[in-house]
Every structure is written in C-alpha cells, then in structure tokens.
Amino acid sequence: MVCALKHAYNALMNDVHTLSPEHILVCPQCDAAYILARPKTGERAVCTRCHTVLIRNKHEAGIQIIALSLAIAILIVAATFFPFLTINAAGATNSASLLDAALAFSDGPLMILSLTTAALIVVVPFVRVILTVYVLSPIVLNRTPARGAMGAFRLSEALRPWSMVEIFALGCAVALIKISDLADVSFGSAFWMFAVLVFLVVIQDNLICRWSIWDSLETPKKS
C-alpha cells in the first residue's frame, strides 16, 4: 500500500506562510518537497519523482529490529573468536578465526590494513547494532529517548556503508575455491555462525525506517 503524498506545490497555491518546515517532507535523493502525511500501519510513502521510499510504516518493526540486533551482536562476538576455517595439507594443519583473518596484514605498513579490515568486518557491524539497540529500545517502550540518542543514530547511519560482512562472506567463498587445490579446507563453527549473521544483517537493515526513527526521537511518546 502506498500512502498518497501531496506535492508542496499544492500548498503553495493556498498559503505558503502557514506551511512550517516541520510539515514538509523532503526526498533525500532528489530534493522533491511534499506535505508530510504519515502512512498508516503497513503503508509506505514513496517519492513520486525518483521513487525512493521515504517512510515505511511496518507493524512491530521496532521490536523485531531490536531482537535481530541482539542476535547479530552475539553472533559477531562468537564468530570472531571461534575457528573459522581450517586447512590441512600433507599433515600440516592451520586454522584461522575471523580475528586472525582481520589481522593477517600485520607486518610493517600493512598494519593499517589490518586495523581497517578488523573495523570493516567486526567493529563497525558490532558498534552499529549496539547503537541501534540503544536508540530503539526507549522508543519501542514509549519512554523518552536515551541520552545522546540523536548522536548515536547519526553515527550509526554514517557507519552504514562501512559495514561489510556480506562482502566478507563472498570473499570467503572465493578464497575457499582458491585454496582448495592447495590444501583440504574444512569449516569451523564460526563459519556457520557467520553465514547466519550475514542474513540477519541484511534483514535487519531492510526493516529500519530511518525517517520514523528520526521522527520518534524528535517527538517522543506520541503513540
């Protein structure tokens, strides 16, 4: 269901001065201005110019996001320390955890790369889910937003492109095939945790409606 949005043009025809900025909805992609209409549960508000989804009102999305976030946090911690992959060639064995993979570039100038990789596949995803829980919990419970919730959500949004677990997962597949003619590779427990983790991250990210969260942070306890 799509919620109808009125173009700001219509309002301008009537009276521009009664229209305060808080009643205007602006498309973040193409800058089209609309008169704010809140979609009912299950509805979406879509920009008629560039078709970006502006508001998505899903039933019980908040509690689902929190549940998924907690699951992701636990999986990240577990997948980081348990053995991820093990190889075996002519009697020699070696297993690596996610942390080992992240810290593979540890000599000399490549050290920076180690820290970057660790950040992209472990730290950033972990920080993002923690921030999400911190911001969303009071909103879902209809309490006043947590202290610094605005800043926390802003940071979480800025970090979004830098969370690369799904890319790392495909990297695993490529590395596995490359190594497989050099040695026998077997999966550790962390590998399966990571596989589940990737799915949860994608689902969680699609549930989040940015506009609704900002709106709730600005005008708490409205429901």
Under the criterion CB under 8 A, does residue 181 sit at the interface with other proteins?
A: yes
Are the C-beta atoms of 72 and 201 separated by less than 8 Å? yes
Supply the minimum distance, in Å, between the C-beta of residue 153 and other proteins: 7
Q: In this structure, how many other beta carbons lie within 10 angstroms of the beta carbon of residue 159?
A: 16
Under the criterion CB under 8 A, does residue 210 sit at the interface with other proteins?
A: yes
Are the C-beta atoms of 36 and 78 separated by less than 8 Å? no
Under the criterion CB under 8 A, does residue 102 sit at the interface with other proteins?
A: yes
Under the criterion CB under 8 A, does residue 150 sit at the interface with other proteins?
A: yes
Supply the minimum distance, in Å, between the C-beta of residue 41 and other proteins: 15
Are the C-beta atoms of 123 and 109 separated by less than 8 Å? no
Under the criterion CB under 8 A, does residue 4 sit at the interface with other proteins?
A: yes
Closest C-alpha among 204, 221, 215, 203 to residue 55: 215
Under the criterion CB under 8 A, does residue 143 sit at the interface with other proteins?
A: no
| Contact pick of 82, 126, 134, 153 for other proteins (by CB under 8 A) | 153
| C-alpha to C-alpha distance for 191 and 173, rounded to whole angstroms | 11
Amino acid present at 6: K
Q: What is the SS3 string spanning 188-200? A: CHHHHHHHHHHHH
Under the criterion CB under 8 A, does residue 170 sit at the interface with other proteins?
A: yes
| C-alpha to C-alpha distance for 140 and 134, rounded to whole angstroms | 11
Under the criterion CB under 8 A, does residue 174 sit at the interface with other proteins?
A: yes
Under the criterion CB under 8 A, does residue 21 sit at the interface with other proteins?
A: yes
| Contact pick of 48, 142, 144, 186 for other proteins (by CB under 8 A) | 48
Residue showing tokens 């609309």: 34
27 vs 193, beta carbon nearer other proteins: 27
Under the criterion CB under 8 A, does residue 67 sit at the interface with other proteins?
A: no
Supply the minimum distance, in Å, between the C-beta of residue 139 and other proteins: 15
